Amino acid sequence: MANINIKINGMEVSAPAGSTILEAARLAHIEIPTLCYLKEINEIGACRICVVEVKGARSLVASCVYPINEGMEVFTNTPKVLKSRKRTLQLILSNHDRRCLSCVRSGDCELQKLCKDLGVEDESLYDGEKGIYELDESAAHMVRDNNKCILCRRCSAVCSQTQGIGVIGANERGFKTNIGSAFEMGLGETSCVSCGQCIAVCPTGALYEKDSVDEVLEAIADPEKFVFVQTAPAVRAGLGEAFGLPIGTNVEGQMIAALRRVGFDKVFDTNFSADLTIMEEATEFLDRVQNGGVLPLITSCSPGWIKYCEHYFPEMTENLSSCKSPQQMFGAIAKTYYAKKLGIDPEKMVSVSIMPCTAKKFELGRDDQSAAGVPDVDYSLTVRELARLIDKVGLNFLSLPEEQFDNPLGISTGAAVIFGATGGVMEAALRTAVWKLTGENNDSPIEFTEVRGVQGIKEATFHVAGMDVNVAVASGLSNARELLLKVKSGEANYHFIEIMGCPGGCVNGGGQPQVPASIRNFTDIRALRAKVLYDADAANPVRKSHENKAVMKLYEEFLGAPGSHKAHDILHTTYVKRTIN
């Protein structure tokens, strides 16, 4: 593709044909501020924060959608441009709840930063009538506060385009415009799948997860309670960002140290139950292949995907693996096997998870998630909540030493840690399934790179033990829909499918630290975080789930064998067919 030559602030810039002014400026290391813009998701030029002057143009233009042409001269920082941006911010603030100190996004708000950069005072010049909205707390996982909404439409764009759901959008017109659901339904009344991608892209405090930090601290303070915590693989790849570390920093050791100092009785790794999931899921897959079961088998680790399937493809719930997610498996084993070993009443155990996922909060309340007669998991905190918890108790995260998980439920393999990246569950399952199909040969393959990468849909065929195994991987629910429609129409024939609700998998989950659009638009945060997990896998001397000695001991002492009746009672679950609202 030919390049186009333009001038930006007097500097010569060469950019590919088809680039916008915003993209060309980026090549010249000039940052033009944005609010509504999300690359390839919400390119609507609506907020007018990104306006610039173009020589010869009659008015300021929105740089996020304005294409460059040969010889164009652009000015991004003239008094006229800066005045326009400042006035736009003042108008936004005139209908905005400006109680910033109590806002969950204070210090991490894109609107707040722009106001600081452009010298906008808290008192707006355009005060007048303001929209007043009640909080929508109807969903299990999040709160919607339209008093903080700036109508950027990022949330509705990611819901409809990236996730293919579209349960939120603009209601009313003019000054009364607000983001909501059809017929003013609460979000909890819709077929929202709790993925939290809307929270991840919101530039303000209009959307945030339901916070359980205080309840967890109360449980820790109760001397009658045994409070333990598990952390998902992707947490170690994202938590450091909340404390100023670069994207793609592994903070596993400091994270463990922080959780101990918060006061948890035991700090465990969800990777243990990820290995356990593979033992059950690989056994289930082989049983279906060899005994004429329902195929393709589809993974069940992502609760956002599960709820999506129940709403939008209820006829395919029979294809879902009956395995609980690793979060729920961990809680189930801790409150049965581990409780028995310690001689503790499960009623006195408090099971806490740290997840990169908001849908885990919904999952806690699902039916058939109480192996010991009490909930498998009592509280699920997002990575953002954990960061706030660490700050709340006064820990200096960056100065903490590196520590290790407690045993035995802290032992895991390299196969488990890659669960957090799209394709990771598939690769981990293949490592064990191929081992089983080839006669339990420990020289079976370790890396299945065909299913790695951040592409929305990946397909591969592996020739194993005289048969072709067709697999597919999808992340992001619009990609899941495309894949499942191919299966339903007969266009595609797979044996095994992995689906993650969030684009890129758990590393890009709705509960991870929020990344401003200025970085998100030009950096693949999914790949950087995923690299943490693949590096951890490569560094682990044990890389196949069936080689986890702690998991093997669990079967020997308690469960019997993968797929046993007892394993099904404790580690497996059921699904429901839901309607679309």
SS3 7: strand
Look up residue 146 and give its amino acid: N
pLDDT score of 126: 84
The predicted structure's pLDDT at residue 463:
87
Sheet with 51-54, side-by-side order of all strands:
11-16, 3-8, 73-75, 51-54, 61-62
Closest-CA residue to 27 (of 58, 5, 1): 5
Distances (CA, A) of 559 to 232, 242, 431, 495: 23, 39, 22, 27
DSSP conformational letter for 490: T
What pLDDT is attached to residue 523? 96
| DSSP secondary structure, 235-302, as one string | HHHHGGGGGTPPTT---HHHHHHHHHHHT-SEEEEHHHHHHHHHHHHHHHHHHHHHHT--SSEE----
Whether 228 and 349 have beta carbons less than 8 Å apart is answered as yes
Which neighbouring-strand residues pair with 8? Answer: 11, 74
Q: Is the dihedral of CA 249, 162, 63, 20 positive or negative?
A: positive
Would you give the DSSP letter of residue 482? Answer: H
Could you list the pLDDT tens digit for every one of the 581 residues in the chain?
699 999 999 999 999 999 999 999 999 999 999 999 999 999 999 999 999 999 999 999 999 999 999 999 999 999 999 999 999 999 999 999 999 999 999 999 999 999 999 999 876 678 888 899 999 999 999 999 999 999 999 999 999 999 999 999 999 999 999 999 999 999 999 999 999 999 999 999 999 999 999 999 999 999 999 999 999 999 999 999 999 999 999 999 999 999 999 999 999 999 999 999 999 999 999 999 989 999 999 999 999 999 999 999 999 999 999 999 999 999 999 999 999 999 999 999 999 999 999 999 999 999 999 999 999 999 999 999 999 999 999 999 999 999 999 999 999 999 999 999 999 999 999 999 888 888 766 666 788 999 999 999 999 999 887 889 999 999 999 999 999 999 999 999 999 999 999 999 999 999 999 999 999 999 999 999 999 999 999 999 999 999 999 999 999 999 999 999 999 999 999 999 999 98
Domains of the chain: 3-77 (3.10.20.740), 110-206 (3.30.70.20), 214-571 (3.40.50.1780)
Supply 352's token pair: 């806490």
Q: Round to whole Å and give the CA distance between 112 and 101.
A: 11
How far apart, in whole angstroms, are the C-alpha atoms of residue 39 and residue 23? Answer: 10
| Residue in the block written with tokens 């810039």 | 13
Phi first, then psi, for residue 556 (nearest 5°) are -65, -40
